[in-house]
A and B are shown apart, each in its own frame.
Chain A
Amino acid sequence: MSSKVTNRIALSVIILCACILVGTLAALLGYILVQGVTSISWDFLTSPSSPFMAGGGIKDQLWNSLYVLIITMILTVPIGVCGGIYLAEYARPGKLTSFIRSCVEVLASLPSIVVGMFGMLIFVNYFGWRYSVLSGALALTVFNLPVIVRVTEDGFRSLPRHQKEGGLALGLTHWHTIKTILLPAAFPSILTGIILSAGRVFGESAALLFTAGLTTPNLDFTNWNPSAPNSPLNMFRSAETLSVHIWSVNTSGIIPDIEKVANGSAAVLVICVLLFNLFARAVGKMINQKLSGRH
């Protein structure tokens, strides 16, 4: 009798927990979207931000976020995929392997501000690149590498064994088997992971604070010469990204429409991250269907 009552009560508490979690998160997200979407307009997205006056947009910040993301991905994906291949294919159980594994683990769990401080020390001060797109992208590379490594390793490990054995039986070398058989087969899961990590990089802020800086020079979007100081493609200019912008507007902003700009930027950021997620899921599903349909 009493055990039944406890059962009832306990289960209701669990359901309540789930409701609290989903409710809180849905309410907060809904709040951001509802508050923010009203301030998003074409004008908001395409006009440069203004340091004192109301009515500034987020054009430069949006571009910076994308640019830093692209460079980070160009740096991370090859290194990360190769690192993942090492762990999945070449690593022999031993001290070195377990050390590399610990290193990946350490990189994955370091606070992003620590990574940012490291970036400041090495790239900004030591290499003298100042606050720049490149410094930011390199810091984010450190931050993103372990994710790609894990994704790749998992992708390779989930492949059926006979694919590798088939390749080796044909007389291919190990590297060739990896390059021509295993990598294409593991590609869908790796791609999904890469897109998901792109969402994470896109929203990262603490690591960029001290590496990409809090300001953006006046960008001239007609000047695509990468060495010009006001070119959007210049890698050695400071670049405030969207998420850093949200923070800096709220903490040190003096514009009168802080709330509008912050909410609008947050909504754009959240929508972008959601898009990355949905896109990753769609890609994963599509490739999965294609692969299983071909059997």
Chain B
Amino acid sequence: MGINKTMAGAPSNKDPKLSLLKEKGLIKRFTDHYSESRGRLIIYISASLMIIAVVAITLFLTVQGLRSFVIDRLNVWSFVTGTEWYPDRENNPSFGAFPFIFGSIAVTLLSAVIAAPVAVGCAIFMTELTKKWGQRVLQPVIEILVGIPSVVYGLIGLSVIVPFIKQYFGGSGFSLLAGSLVVGIMILPTVASIAADSIRSVPDTLREASYAIGATKWQTIWRVVIPAAGSSLITAIVLGMSRAFGEALAVQMVVGNARGLPTSIFDPAATLTTIITLSMGNSTYGSVLNDALWSLGLILLMISYIFIVIIRFLSKRRKA
């Protein structure tokens, strides 16, 4: 069908000769080497756009992120380790980003701790216990849940989780725990579906061999399937963590946006993404605060790259 369509739309040959092939311009079309090079050109341009995008993002964000150190003369070390973020203080404004870096890492780790066991358990359930049902019903449902926008998770957190924490643990409810829970729930389907894929790719012969020597279902799962799926399971969790780390609005809605270091998980906190989300719109372009925010963005970018390297390393080891 597609062939006919494209032929019908072809420009007819200028010099109509007797041959049917020539009349329809087929020979020209089939042997038109310009078309080949034209197509190739389009393809190569598209591919190089990918490189341009990555290089441009890295380059521009780096240059912009270094402004606060180069032009505004902030000290890198005190920027990363300082705990006081008072950019609008009249005398001696201070830019200490450590609370945000800490908050980001805390939310990422806590959400992974919350999500990983449940997600891996669910993946095992889908692939090992109820194979047919898992593949037919659970997998599509989980894939649909992956697509639910993060703002919706944030809203749910705001209207369910925050009041819940407020009622049972005191405080305002806006806390590190609320942020981690929201992000943890958000990455559950992602981790579960990737983990299920990796468990599914474990060859059945391994399981059969295990059953044949008299292992129970659990022994097979624990001693054979999980080690065999090993590094790809970890990849799934790391992917979830990198998503948790980069999440902005959902966290911002529930985490409380305090500028100090949280002392417990029930304290409000802030992360790199939330402070950027909140302050970027209110700061003038070119001011010290604005430059400091870009520097936070640069830190965000660098940690994202670290995640990418870890994931690459893990998947390389899997192949080897």
Residues of A whose CB lies within 8 Å of any CB of B are 3-4, 6-7, 10-11, 13-18, 20-22, 24-25, 28-29, 31-32, 35, 78-80, 82-83, 85-87, 89-91, 99-100, 102-107, 109-115, 117-118, 120-122, 125, 142, 145-146, 149, 170-176, 178-181, 183-185, 187, 196, 199-200, 202-206, 209-210, 214, 243-244, 246-247, 250-251, 259, 262-263, 266, 269-270, 273-274, 276-277, 281
Is B17 engaged at the interface, CB distance under 8 Å to the other chain?
no
Q: How far is the CB of A108 from chain B (nearest CB, A)?
A: 9
Which residues of chain B in 271-310 are interfacial with respect to chain A, using CB atoms and an 8 Å cutoff? 273, 276-277, 280-281, 285, 294, 297, 300-301, 304-305, 307-308
Q: How far is the CB of A40 from chain B (nearest CB, A)?
A: 15
A24 to B30, Cβ gap below 8 A?
A: no
Q: How far is the CB of B1 from chain A (nearest CB, A)?
A: 7
Alpha-carbon separation in the docked complex, A236 to B128 (Å): 53
**Given that A21-B122, A145-B53, A179-B39 are known contacts, is A269 also in contact with B151, CB under 8 Å in the complex?**
yes
Please name all residues of chain B whose beta carbon is closer than 8 Å to the beta carbon of A11 when the two chains form the complex: 129, 217-218
A187 to B308, Cβ gap below 8 A?
A: no
**Given that A113-B276, A118-B57 are known contacts, is A25 also in contact with B50, CB under 8 Å in the complex?**
no
A114 to B304, Cβ gap below 8 A?
A: yes
Please name all residues of chain A whose beta carbon is closer than 8 Å to the beta carbon of B154 when the two chains form the complex: 246-247, 250
Alpha-carbon separation in the docked complex, A124 to B98 (Å): 29
With A99-B51, A103-B54 given, name 4 new contacts (CB 8 A). A117-B61, A203-B150, A205-B149, A210-B280
Q: How far is the CB of A149 from chain B (nearest CB, A)?
A: 7
B140 to A111, Cβ gap below 8 A?
A: no
**Given that A29-B148, A82-B43 are known contacts, is A10 also in contact with B305, CB under 8 Å in the complex?**
no
A114 to B249, Cβ gap below 8 A?
A: no
Residues of B whose CB lies within 8 Å of any CB of A are 1-3, 6-7, 29-33, 35-36, 38-40, 42-47, 49-51, 53-54, 56-57, 60-61, 64, 117-122, 124-126, 128-129, 138, 140-145, 147-156, 158-160, 185, 188-189, 192, 216-219, 221-222, 239, 242, 245-249, 252-253, 273, 276-277, 280-281, 285, 294, 297, 300-301, 304-305, 307-308, 311-312
Q: Is the interface of A mostly helix, strand, loop or mixed?
A: helix
Q: Is the interface of B mostly helix, strand, loop or mixed?
A: helix
Q: How far is the CB of A266 from chain B (nearest CB, A)?
A: 5
**Given that A3-B216, A173-B35, A178-B39 are known contacts, is A14 also in contact with B121, CB under 8 Å in the complex?**
yes
**Given that A145-B53, A210-B281 are known contacts, is A113 also in contact with B273, CB under 8 Å in the complex?**
yes
Please name all residues of chain A whose beta carbon is closer than 8 Å to the beta carbon of B35 when the two chains form the complex: 173, 175-176
Q: How far is the CB of A27 from chain B (nearest CB, A)?
A: 9
Q: How far is the CB of A52 from chain B (nearest CB, A)?
A: 20
B121 to A17, Cβ gap below 8 A?
A: yes
Which of A110, A174, A185 meets B246, CB within 8 Å?
A110
A243 to B151, Cβ gap below 8 A?
A: yes
Tell me the nearest residue of chain A to B58, going by C-beta: A106
Alpha-carbon separation in the docked complex, A293 to B188 (Å): 38
Q: How far is the CB of B152 from chain A (nearest CB, A)?
A: 5
Please name all residues of chain B whose beta carbon is closer than 8 Å to the beta carbon of A145 when the two chains form the complex: 49-50, 53
Q: How far is the CB of B295 from chain A (nearest CB, A)?
A: 11
A15 to B125, Cβ gap below 8 A?
A: yes
B54 to A173, Cβ gap below 8 A?
A: no
